[in-house]
């Protein structure tokens, strides 16, 4: 038992008591001087801006490709002759398989680098998005979207690392918020091109998927032009030095020696931080359940229950995503001075309070409620990329960030399908021959997810320094 405790597998009763007793006191904001965000951003050089931009674009197109499915559920169900609840499985399967991609591509990113891992992911995006537009029935679509989910899950970690790990410390918060709202930017662009392509072109929803396959190829060219991140190159150098010292007597370390050094770091980090990883997974489960529960079926709510046309659905979606973008930047910036946890908890409480305004009105008055709901949801998510990065040990930073984020997605992956099935139990009077359901009521069920308290500043160098 003593050896296991020394290895970091177990924590003492004193450590657990200290952890529980500091849940409230550790919310006290740090004594960080409030600074103008513009002066903070001026610290970045061209290398940092370019890497941040390519990471942001990659994440935004990840969101675009996923949003193409959420926006086209109604059109696909009509063409394939399937229920909306059946088509919603395309979203659920994508989300369920994201954790597989996160594990595979996160490990590749930590082992071989951020650059080529990200390039491979983007290429797979182009392939699977194009293939989605050629499917002829629901089983084909489900299969392609499942493969797409693996690629989607694999992108988050190398994109986060590319965007954030070379930044100055003070810029982490505000740029974390802007980066995370790449998801809202992608969803906003999807709404715009949905309106431009789906109702107006011969191929309808297929044209949106085909268009979505082109921009990833452009981002690939951009990423190939840029170097590997400085942080990974330093980590690789340290790993090579360890491999040379431990597994090689002279010359450069061999491939097997590098692999052994990486696996050794990987295993030690897991043993020392397993409780931390469980916390990160629970946190991402709560946040993803809330955001996917509130957002994935919302276009269907607008079209089926509120009976809005494509133009009004697009307008409301755009307004909501502008709220997310603004909230993410402000929430990330505020977390630098309030602390990550206090900023997220405060925005969660306010977001729950404004949620009814996003589902009760039955006109374009929904815009105000959607804007503020998305503003506070974006504020919650703004600190998440840098928060997960700060909690993760360097040796498996991409793996830990990607896997915990996507396992949270996995746990919440059935949100859209559960909502669709539940809504069918609450039918509304049909109009113009169209069966309508109370999607607004069931969406509200998913918004009350409680936030989990976060650990204090756990250290990942040696078990004796872990402060719980």
Mean pLDDT of the chain: 82
318 vs 221 pLDDT, higher one: 221
Banded pLDDT at 454 (limits 50, 70, 90): very low
pLDDT for the residue numbered 463: 33
- 218 contact partners, CB below 8 Å, separation of at least 6: none
Asked if 329 and 179 count as a contact pair (C-beta separation under 8 A), the reply is no
Residue pointed to by tokens 């990840």 = 62
- On the question of pLDDT at 313 being above 70, the answer is yes
d(CA 284, CA 81): 35
For range 352-356, the mean pLDDT: 86
Task: Give residue 147's pLDDT band: very low, low, confident or very high (50, 70, 90).
Answer: very high
Q: In whole angstroms, what is the distance from residue 296 CA to residue 355 CA?
A: 15
Within 8 A by CB and 6+ apart from 35, the residues are 170
Write down the pLDDT at residue 306. Answer: 86
**Of the ranges 20-29, 132-141, 235-244, 245-254, which is most confident?**
132-141
Residue 464 has pLDDT above 70, yes or no: no
Give the model's pLDDT for residue 202: 87
User: Is the pLDDT confidence value at 1 over 70?
Assistant: no
Q: How confident is the model at residue 325 (pLDDT cuts 50, 70, 90)?
A: confident
Per-position b or e across 88-106, b if 16+ CB within 10 A of its CB: bbbbbbbbbbbbbbbbbbb
The pair of structure tokens assigned to 457 is 């500043």
Higher pLDDT, 25 or 5: 25
pLDDT at 12: 72
Alpha carbon distance 451, 448 (integer Å): 9
What is the predicted pLDDT for the residue at 213?
Answer: 92
Lowest mean pLDDT among 156-160, 397-401, 404-408, 451-455: 451-455
Region 77-86 average pLDDT: 86
Please, what sign has the CA dihedral across residues 391, 398, 345, 380?
Answer: positive
**Of residues 288 and 252, more confidently modeled:** 288
Work out the percent of the chain whose per-residue pLDDT is above 90: 19
Query: How many helices and strands (H and E) does the chain possess?
Result: 23, 2
Determine what percent of the chain is predicted with pLDDT higher than 70: 88
Instruction: Give me the CATH topology for the region 43-465.
Output: Growth Hormone; Chain: A; (1.20.1250)
> Which is higher by pLDDT, 13 or 49?
49
């Amino acid at each position: 038992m003593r050896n296991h405790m020394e290895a970091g597998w177990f924590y003492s009763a004193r450590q657990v008591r200290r952890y529980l007793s500091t849940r409230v006191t550790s919310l006290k904001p740090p004594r960080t001087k409030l600074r103008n965000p513009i002066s903070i951003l001026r610290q970045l050089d061209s290398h940092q801006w370019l890497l941040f931009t390519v990471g942001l674009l990659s994440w935004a197109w990840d969101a675009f490709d996923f949003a193409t499915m959420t926006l086209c559920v109604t059109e696909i169900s009509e063409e394939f002759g399937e229920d909306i609840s059946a088509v919603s499985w395309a979203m659920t399967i994508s989300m369920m398989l994201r954790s597989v991609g996160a594990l595979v591509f996160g490990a590749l990113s930590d082992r071989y680098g951020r650059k080529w891992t990200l390039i491979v992911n983007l290429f797979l995006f182009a392939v699977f998005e194009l293939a989605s537009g050629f499917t002829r029935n629901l089983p084909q679509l489900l299969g392609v979207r499942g493969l797409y989910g693996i690629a989607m899950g694999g992108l988050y970690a190398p994109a986060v690392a590319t965007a954030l790990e070379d930044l100055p410390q003070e810029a982490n918060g505000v740029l974390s918020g802007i980066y995370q709202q790449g998801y809202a930017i992608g969803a906003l662009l999807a709404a715009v091109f949905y309106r431009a392509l789906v109702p107006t072109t011969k191929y309808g929803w297929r044209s949106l998927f085909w268009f979505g396959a082109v921009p990833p190829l452009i981002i690939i060219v951009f990423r190939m032009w840029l170097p590997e991140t400085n942080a990974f190159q330093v980590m690789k150098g340290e790993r090579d030095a360890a491999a040379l010292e431990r597994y090689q007597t002279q010359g450069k370390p061999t491939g097997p020696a590098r692999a052994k050094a990486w696996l050794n770091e990987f295993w030690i980090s897991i043993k020392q931080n397993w409780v931390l990883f469980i916390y990160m997974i629970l946190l991402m489960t709560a946040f993803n359940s809330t955001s996917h529960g509130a957002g994935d079926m919302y276009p269907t709510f607008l079209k089926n229950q509120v009976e809005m046309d494509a133009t009004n659905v697009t307008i409301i979606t755009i307004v909501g995503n502008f709220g997310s973008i603004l909230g993410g930047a402000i929430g990330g910036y505020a977390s630098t001075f309030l602390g990550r946890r206090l900023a997220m908890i405060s925005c969660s409480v306010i977001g729950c309070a404004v949620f009814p305004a996003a589902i009760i009105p039955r006109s374009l008055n929904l815009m105000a409620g959607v804007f503020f709901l998305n503003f506070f949801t974006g504020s919650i998510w703004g600190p998440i990329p840098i928060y997960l990065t700060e909690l993760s040990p360097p040796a498996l930073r991409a793996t830990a960030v990607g896997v915990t984020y996507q396992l949270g997605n996995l746990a919440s992956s059935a949100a859209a399908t559960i909502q669709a099935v539940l809504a069918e139990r609450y039918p509304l009077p049909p109009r113009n021959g169209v069966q309508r359901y109370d999607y607004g009521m069931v969406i509200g069920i998913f918004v009350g997810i409680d936030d989990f308290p976060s650990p204090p500043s756990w250290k990942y160098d040696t078990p004796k320094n872990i402060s719980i």
